[in-house]
Chains A and B, each alone.
Chain A
Amino acid sequence: MPVEVIMPKVDMDMTAGQVTKWHAGEGDRVVKGRCLFEIETDKAAMEVEAPANGILRDVTGGQGVDIPVGQVIAWIFGDGETYTRQAGGQAAPSAAAPPPVSLPVIATRAPAADGALRASPLARRLAKAAGLDLTAIAGSGPRGRIQKADVLSHQAGQSPASPAKTASDDEAILNLFHPDDYDVVPHDSLRKTIARRVVESKKFVPHFYLGVDCEIDRLLTLRQEINQNPHVLEAPDQAAKVSINDMVIKAMAKALRDVPDANVTWTESNMIRHHKVDVGFAVAIPGGLIAPIVRNADQKPLTAIARETKDLAARARSRTLDVAEYRGGTTSVSNLGMFGTREFSAIINPPHATILAVGAGERRPVVLADGHTVAAATVMTLTLSSDHRAVDGALAAALLAAVKSSLEDPIRLLV
Chain B
Amino acid sequence: MNQDIRALSYAEALREAMAIAMEADERVFLMGEDIGVYGGAFQVTGDLIERFGADRVMDTPISELGGAGVAVGAALGGMRPIYEFQFSDFAMLAMEQIANQAAKMRFMLGGAVSVPVVMRFPAGSGTGAAAQHSQSIEAWFAHIPGLKVIQPATPHDVKGMLLAAVADPDPVMIFEHKLLYKMKGPVPAGHYTVPIGEAEIRCAGRDVTIVATSIMVHRSLAAAAELERENISAEVIDLRTIRPIDRQTVIESVKKTSRLICVYEGVKTMGIGAEISAMVVESEAFDFLDAPILRLGGAETPIPYNPDLERAAVPQTPAIVEAARRLVTAKA
Chain A residues close to B by CB (< 8 Å): 51, 101, 106-108, 120-125, 140-143, 145, 147-149, 175, 178-180
Contacts and interface: CB of A to CB of B under 8 A. Distances in A.
Contacts of B286: 121
B287 A125 contact: yes
Contact of B255 (A124, A145, A179): A179
Nearest to B286: A121
Contacts of A122: 258, 287-290
Contacts of A107: 332
Contacts of B332: 51, 106-108, 142-143
Q: What is the size category of the interface that chain B forms with chain A?
A: 10 to 19
A36 to B, nearest CB: 15
B170 to A, nearest CB: 35
B330 A179 contact: no
A142 B289 contact: no
B331 interface: yes
Contact of B290 (A101, A123, A142, A180): A123
A106 B332 CA distance: 7
Interface string B266-292: 000000000000000000001111110
A322 B291 CA distance: 46
B201 to A, nearest CB: 15
Contacts of A148: 258, 290
22 contacts: A107-B332, A108-B332, A120-B290, A120-B291, A121-B286, A121-B288, A121-B289, A121-B290, A122-B258, A123-B290, A124-B287, A125-B287, A125-B288, A141-B330, A142-B331, A147-B290, A147-B291, A147-B330, A149-B330, A175-B206, A178-B256, A179-B255
A108 B331 contact: yes
A321 B291 CA distance: 46
B330 A142 contact: yes
Contacts of B287: 121-122, 124-125
Contacts of B291: 120, 141, 147
A367 to B, nearest CB: 60
B63 to A, nearest CB: 51
The 6 residue pairs across chains A and B that have the minimum distance between CB atoms: A142-B332, A122-B290, A125-B287, A141-B330, A120-B290, A121-B289
Contacts of A179: 255-256, 288
A108 B331 CA distance: 7
Main secondary structure of the interface of B (DSSP, over half): loop
A412 to B, nearest CB: 63
Given A178-B256, A179-B255, A101 B331 contact: yes
A9 to B, nearest CB: 13
Nearest to A3: B332
Contacts of A178: 256
Contacts of A175: 206
Best-surrounded residue of B286, B290, B331 (most CB of chain A within 10 A): B290
Contacts of A108: 330-332
A339 B287 CA distance: 43
A180 B287 CA distance: 12
A267 to B, nearest CB: 44
B49 to A, nearest CB: 54
A104 to B, nearest CB: 10
B330 to A, nearest CB: 4
Contacts of B331: 101, 106, 108, 142
A120 B289 contact: yes
Contacts of B258: 120, 122, 148
Contacts of A149: 330
Interface string B289-332: 11100000000000000000000000000000000000000111
Best-surrounded residue of B258, B289, B332 (most CB of chain A within 10 A): B332
Contacts of A180: 255
Nearest to A52: B332
A140 to B, nearest CB: 7
A142 B290 CA distance: 12
Nearest to A106: B332
A412 B289 CA distance: 68
A393 B330 CA distance: 55
A178 B332 CA distance: 28
A148 B286 CA distance: 14
Contacts of B288: 121-122, 125, 179
Contacts of A140: 330
A147 B258 CA distance: 10
B208 to A, nearest CB: 13
A108 B255 CA distance: 26
Nearest to B332: A142
A275 B157 CA distance: 84
Contacts of A143: 332
Nearest to B285: A121
Nearest to B255: A179
A101 B286 CA distance: 31
B151 to A, nearest CB: 29
A182 B293 CA distance: 25
A124 B256 CA distance: 17
Nearest to B258: A122
Contacts of B289: 120-122
A309 B71 CA distance: 92
Nearest to B284: A180
Interface in B232-280: 255-256, 258
Given A107-B332, A142-B330, 16 more contacts: A51-B332, A101-B331, A106-B332, A108-B330, A121-B286, A121-B287, A121-B288, A121-B289, A122-B287, A125-B287, A125-B288, A143-B332, A147-B330, A148-B258, A179-B255, A179-B288
A145 B332 CA distance: 10
Contacts of B290: 120-123, 147-148
Contacts of B330: 108, 140-142, 145, 147, 149
A142 B291 CA distance: 9
Nearest to B330: A141
A179 B255 CA distance: 8
Nearest to A151: B290
A178 B252 CA distance: 10
B279 to A, nearest CB: 15
A136 B303 CA distance: 49
A147 B290 CA distance: 6
A125 B50 CA distance: 64
Contacts of A101: 331
